[in-house]
Structure 1
Amino acid sequence: MKLSLDRKEKRPIPSQAGRIAVVTGASSGIGLYTALGLAKAGAKVVLVCRSQARGDDAKRLIARQSGGNEPDVVLANFASLKSVDNAAQRIADGYNEIHILVNNVGAFAPVRELTVDGYEMTFAVNHLAPFLFTNRLVPALAGSGEERRKARIVTVASNASNRASIDFGDLQASRRYSVFGAYAQSKLANVLFTVELARRLPPKPVTANCLHPGVVGTGIGNVGGVMGAAWSLLKPLVLTPEQGAENSLYVATATEIEGKTGLYFVKERPARPNPIAEDRHAALRLWTESERLVEAALEKAHASV
């Protein structure tokens, strides 16, 4: 696999020397450029990838372009909550401190399919997996944060969330499935999760924010068929993955937003999210249901061993 990361960052990133950053979905697209930007700024980066081969390619490339700052690779399949749980445990065991977590991994399923846990793929990968992954790593983040420089949790959402609703009666889209509806609901879940997480973190020295990266020409739309062909035509007209990473890097590192939490960022500025994201009852209900679904999947996985 050949990759090129020659374009320089648009904005200078404050030094991240001495900080450990975990980036999911880091072998390509926005995640790769986010990891590269953090490594260039001096952070020790942990790449969470599904493929060992692609993870190793990203590792070599980042080391080469960051002046020898070699990242680590941890494998995780975000379509398996057991795999996510195991990866989070390996990271928590392997690093005394974590200062930045970027939940970047995402899925866009053209037809309804189920994960190994029996959950709808888009909802599981985009929401349940980062919900579990983040909660497992909160103790490590809280242990590294300080009042003057808090640890940061950054979740890549989307402005697709603005047009979404949460169907608590059918979160798995078993009665009706729409590729765009499922994706939008999962991105609204990202925002609701961020808002509720921010409420739960105090007095821990950790902030939680989410963002819209822009319409970015990543591989998420390479799904084949008519939809994949349309995406191929659209990609040259939208942001590059490197440009898409700029907002993630801003929310993860900018000094001027130190201490800000529970916000949704667009173009490096706080923006008004979908009004549903401001519904405390909806956020709490989603959190409770997410806990139930995650615990059920993990109990089933452990029982089958």
Structure 2
Amino acid sequence: MWLRAVLLPILRVYYTGLRVILQQVYGRRAFSLPVIPSQNGKVAIVTGGAKGIGYSTAKHLSSLGMHVIIAGNNEAEGSEAVTRIQQDTHNEKVEFLYCDLASMKSIRQFVQIFKAKNLCLHVLVNNAGVMLVPERKTADGFEEHFGLNYLGHFLLTNLLLKTTKESGTENLNARIITVSSATHYVGELNFDDLNSSCCYSPHGAYAQSKLALVMFTYYLQRQLSEDGCYVTANVVDPGVVNTDLYRNVCWPGRLVKWMAARLFFKTAEEGAATSIYASVAPELEGIGGCYLYNGQKTKSADISYNEDLQRKLWNESCKMVGIPGSA
């Protein structure tokens, strides 16, 4: 039991990370963003936009002229990020709004404040996340990887969906971008224990949350298409990126990261490229339900395409966050 629940996820996650690093070293490490036309008049929300991949995403969208709202749980980091982006892009339409994705109450308050601004929402980037944290619960009692990485974004997306639908048009669809990772390939959904309360494994919990994000995106896109909405939903894989997300990795892992990151990991800017591409590239206009890596459509894990499991996950998630079971 312990072997399968704890040791096996560790081996799977690190094997996946090593495989991606080797691809980055011997294959195409990153792709160059094409020339993107001005995005003046558009509004974007980027969760976790105060640092790392989220910061690079927010900064680039701001440089294209978008009104960017950084959603995060650290006021000081958020204010500093806003100042730096405004100075670097000469775009004053950058702001920070507090949103703790580990708290359903905080998410609802964020949405209420955002809607009071009477803004459109053309791009939502579900970027924030935690990785390999010790066993702990969110404010609502959910395991933190599942509760913050997945359920927090699940609720946020659904609460903003009406505004997103109203913002999209036939010629200019609104876009929902969700950041997953290659660890979803080794993730398993345990519907009897989504909270990972039995034999907790941070590696297994992290991989599960990333798999859930992929399946959520596919199911959301199918509902949007069936409803004829001018909104697309895609999921992106940034690769192995040199950010502080690795602070909870075991000390041998941190040592390897310290030694290898500059040579073999992507920079935050490189990691953000696919998120930016999915958010604004004309080539993806009207295209949803894709898993994107290095700017290319890529096949995700076989299980992620299981429509019955997607539906089951969606319905269970609705119960957990307390919303109706339909997008």
Tell me if TM exceeds 0.5.
yes
Q: CA deviation at 1:125?
A: 0.7
Amino acid corresponding to residue 283 of structure 1 in structure 2: Q
Whether 1:34 and 2:60 are equivalent positions in the alignment is no
1:14 aligns with 2:37: yes
Q: Partner of 2:96 in structure 1? A: 73
Question: What percent identity do the matched residue pairs reach?
Answer: 35
Does structure 1 residue 206 correspond to structure 2 residue 246?
no
The 1:153/1:32 distance shift into structure 2, 3 A limit, reads same
Contact 1:62 1:70 in 2 (8 A): no
* Corresponding residue of 2:270: 243
State the shift of 1:280 in Å: 0.5
The aligned counterpart of 2:86 is 63
Q: Is 1:233 aligned to residue 256 of structure 2?
A: no
Deviation digits for residues 78-98 of structure 1 (CA, Å, limit 9, x no counterpart): 111111121122112213311
Instruction: Say whether residues 1:196 and 2:219 are aligned partners.
Output: yes
User: Are positions 1:290 and 2:313 aligned together?
Assistant: no
Paired letter, 1:210: V
Unaligned 5+ segments in structure 2 are 1-31
Partner of 2:283: 256
Once the two structures are superposed, the pairs formed by residues 121-270 of structure 1 within 5 Å of their partners are 121-201=144-224, 202-223=227-248, 226=251, 227-236=253-262, 237-270=264-297
Instruction: Say if 1:40 and 1:69, in contact at 8 Å, map to a contact too.
Output: no
Provide Cα deviations, 1:192-232, integer angstroms capped at 9, x if missing partner: 00001101113111000001011111111112751444443
Residues 64-109 of structure 1, C-alpha deviations (whole Å, 9 max, x = no match): 1112334011001111111112112211221331100000001113
Total equivalences in the alignment: 288
Query: Which amino acid letter does the alignment assign opposite residue 272 of structure 2?
Result: A
* Pair 1:278-2:305 in alignment: yes
Contact kept in structure 2, 1:60 and 1:70, CA below 8 Å: no
Paired residue secondary structure (1:192): helix
Q: How far did 1:10 drift?
A: 4.4
- 8 A contact 1:197–1:208 mirrored in 2: yes
Task: Give 1:41 deviation, angstroms.
Answer: 0.4
Amino acid at match of 1:185: Q
Hey, what's the Cα distance between the residues in 1 that align with 2:162 and 2:63? 26
Q: CA deviation at 1:111?
A: 1.8
Which range is displaced more, 52-61 or 105-114?
105-114
| Residue-by-residue CA offset, 1:177-198 (whole Å, 9 max, x unaligned) | 2222111110000000000110
CA distance in 1, matches of 2:237, 2:119: 30
Counterpart of 2:129, as a letter, is: G
Letter in 2 for 1:280: E
SS of the residue 2:205 aligns to: helix
Instruction: Indicate the SS of the match to 2:233.
Output: strand
SS at match of 1:46: strand
TM-score (norm 1): 0.91
Give the superposition deviation at 1:11: 3.5
Q: Please give the secondary structure, in 2, of the residue aligned with 1:169.
A: coil
CA–CA separation in structure 2 for the residues paired with 1:68 and 1:152: 22
